[in-house]
Amino acid sequence: MTQATTQAMIPGNATDPGPLHFRDRDWHPPAYTPGYKTSMTRAPFRPLVSLGSTLSEETGPAFGRSMIGLLDNNLILNFTGEPAIGERIVMHGRVLDENGRGVPNVLVEIWQANAGGRYRHKKDGYLAPLDPNFGGCGRTLTAPDGSYEFMTVRPGAYPWPNRVNDWRPMHIHVSVFGSGFGQRLITQMYFQGDPLIERCPIVNTIGRKEAVEVLVAPLDMNRAIPMDCLAYKFDIVLRGRRQSFFENRREGL
Amino acid sequence: MVQRLDYFNETPSQTAGPYVHIGLTPNALGIPGIYPVDLGASPVREGARGEPIVITGRVIDGAGMILRDALFESWQADADGLYPGNDPRGQADPNVTGWARVAADFDTGVWRLETVKPGRVPYPDGRPMAPHIAVWLVARGINLGLQTRIYFDDEAKANAECPVLARIEHAARIPTLLAKRTAPGEYSFDFRLQGPDETVFFDI
């Protein structure tokens, strides 16, 4: 299964300044997930202190178009100007909120391994070679309807130290901002049809099958460019903001 | 049967992983040339009003190991307690952007945040919260970014009045949120992910 196509097109922009929707922590992965060994010493054991959102979470940084370079969303060309090696793909979709409305001006940042499964990082010593023309990061701002697009190469799968023979499925890391700091989110996009997804201990930190499915991007032949590249569609949903006149009453009212 | 609530679910989180710096601070990692500068290098510009402060610290796991692959983002008000950008109460100090991206040193794990001390911001019911910096912390092994706050141990009166700190049932844990003043304008603060002195993390 992949992302449901029903997570689709509802017009309008999310500009409400209201309190954040409560986060469904049964939908997200829990902190302590023994299948992913590193989480065992990095997971808080004490209960989280529950708090409704305040101005500190309802406000957040904003980013302007002027800081985005022409090639920032083109990972094939943005490192040296010469094309990276690999299967050329478009990654595109919309950033929506839980009310189903496109969120404009969201900074979307991505990073990934190259086509052989190797990251340009001093801590990655995998056998696959670096591609001299692939840096591995890109960024863009969503359009007024919440849409975004990247051109990149499909990242390779790679082995990682967890159990003796664990492999990461092909994936692209995705970081998104909402209008409030409390909406901050990092996730990973997987590719339809990859048999490593269901074997991956990081994917399986998520308990619910339906929640995993929304991280799997379907092949989107309508956005593929003939004789050039394939396309995958990945919609991202941010926490919503409540829309009520009965909010923020002063104490005692 | 009832009508269906047609909200979407928030996209599930996945760990930022060990290579988060490629995406968020490529220049600091040694991947120059893609972006002119890393975003969030400083939450303030020259001329920002208020008391300049430096906070340094570490992120420590449940086995006592210092993380060298942790990264957090901070978000704070200006010295008058106004948030930059979209604060409905008014315009903040133009020299305060409020947001920073702070990576632990790749060799020592020590992080450093230079900023100005934020002012007090009202809680939704109007009572003032104590000066604080909101934090969102990610790393390999953290499945969903951790939300916490840095308060200041030299703000005893404001801290005692803060409606958020008052929500912490086990008051003995409040000091885990207090940056310790070590010299004028200098503070230290460790995030402890797990264990007896575990930092208070919030579900916000």
* Domains in chain B, CATH or no CATH each: 20-192 (2.60.130.10)
Name residues whose C-beta falls within 8 Å of residue A176's C-beta, 6 or more positions apart in sequence.
Answer: A95, A106, A107, A108, A109, A184, A185, A186, A187, A236, A238
State the Cα torsion A189-A192-A194-A198 to the nearest 10°: 70
Domains and CATH numbers, chain A: 67-238 (2.60.130.10)
The pLDDT of residue A61 is above 50 = yes
Alpha-carbon distance values, A251 to A17, A82, A247, B170 (Å)? 20, 61, 11, 24
- Would you give the DSSP letter of residue B140? T
pLDDT of A244 = 60
Nearest CA in chain A to B59: A42
- Degrees (nearest 5) of the Cα angle A58, A62, A68? 155
pLDDT of A68 = 95
Digit-coded pLDDT (tens) for A83-94? 999 999 999 999
The pLDDT of residue A13 is above 60 = no
Paired residues of A153 in beta bridges: A88
| Contact between residue A227 and residue A95 where contact means Cβ atoms under 8 Å apart | no
Backbone angles phi and psi of B172, in degrees to 5:
-65, -15
**Which residues in chain A touch residue B165, judged by CB atoms under 8 angstroms apart?**
none
pLDDT of A242 = 85
Interface test with B, best of A9, A53, A59 (most B CBs within 10 A): A59
Annotation says A184 is catalytic: no
**Which residues in chain A touch residue B12, judged by CB atoms under 8 angstroms apart?**
27-29, 187, 206, 211-212, 214-215
Please name the member of A7, A182, A215 whose beta carbon is closest to the beta carbon of B204. Answer: A182
Secondary structure string (H, E, C) spanning B67-109: CCCCEEEEECCCCCCCCCCCCCCCCCCCCECCEEEEECCCCCC
**Which residues in chain A touch residue B85, judged by CB atoms under 8 angstroms apart?**
59-62
Nearest CA in chain B to A6: B8
Nearest CA in chain B to A171: B14
> Can you read off the two tokens belonging to residue B102?
């702070």
Task: Using only the alpha carbons of chain A, give its radius of gyration.
Answer: 19
Q: Does A74 touch chain B (CB under 8 A)?
A: no
- pLDDT by residue for chain B (204 residues), tens only, comes to 899 999 999 999 999 999 999 999 999 999 999 999 999 999 999 999 999 999 999 999 999 999 999 999 999 999 999 999 878 888 999 999 999 999 999 999 999 999 999 999 999 999 999 999 999 999 999 999 999 999 999 999 999 999 999 999 999 999 999 999 999 999 999 999 999 999 999 999
| Contact between residue A149 and residue A171 where contact means Cβ atoms under 8 Å apart | no
Looking at every residue in chain A, the average pLDDT score rounds to: 91
**Which residues in chain A touch residue B164, judged by CB atoms under 8 angstroms apart?**
51, 54
Digit-coded pLDDT (tens) for A168-178? 999 999 999 99
* C-beta atoms of B124 and A63 within 8 A: no
Paired residues of B150 in beta bridges: B133
Q: Does A110 touch chain B (CB under 8 A)?
A: yes
Least Cα distance to B144 among A197, A187, A106, A38 occurs for A187
**Which residues in chain A touch residue B99, judged by CB atoms under 8 angstroms apart?**
60-61, 181
Give the number of other Cβ atoms within 10 Å of residue A64's Cβ: 9
Beta strands in chain A (DSSP E): 49-50, 88-97, 107-111, 137-141, 147-153, 158-160, 166-168, 171-176, 185-191, 216-217, 230-233, 236-238
Please name the member of B8, B16, B40 whose beta carbon is closest to the beta carbon of A100. Answer: B8
- Degrees (nearest 5) of the Cα angle A126, A129, A131? 130
- Would you give the DSSP letter of residue A229? B
pLDDT of A245 = 54
Paired residues of B203 in beta bridges: A50
* C-beta atoms of A50 and B201 within 8 A: no
The pLDDT of residue A121 is above 80 = yes
DSSP B99-136: EEEEE--TTT--EEEEEE-----B-TTSPBPPS-EEEE
The pLDDT of residue A7 is above 80 = no
The pLDDT of residue A16 is above 60 = no
Q: Does A13 touch chain B (CB under 8 A)?
A: no
Enumerate residues 140 to 169 of chain A having a beta carbon within 8 A of any beta carbon in chain B.
none
Give the number of other Cβ atoms within 10 Å of residue B117's Cβ: 21
Percent of chain A surpassing pLDDT 70: 89
Task: Fill in the amino acid letter for A232.
Answer: Y
Backbone angles phi and psi of B173, in degrees to 5:
-90, -10
* C-beta atoms of B99 and A61 within 8 A: yes
- Degrees (nearest 5) of the Cα angle A241, A242, A244? 150
Annotation says A120 is catalytic: no
pLDDT of A10 = 30
**Which residues in chain A touch residue B118, judged by CB atoms under 8 angstroms apart?**
none
Q: Does A38 touch chain B (CB under 8 A)?
A: yes
pLDDT of A12 = 31
The pLDDT of residue A253 is above 50 = no
pTM comes to 0.94
The pLDDT of residue A14 is above 90 = no
pLDDT of A243 = 72
> Can you read off the two tokens belonging to residue B116?
């100005």
The pLDDT of residue A249 is above 70 = no
pLDDT of A2 = 58
The pLDDT of residue A237 is above 90 = yes
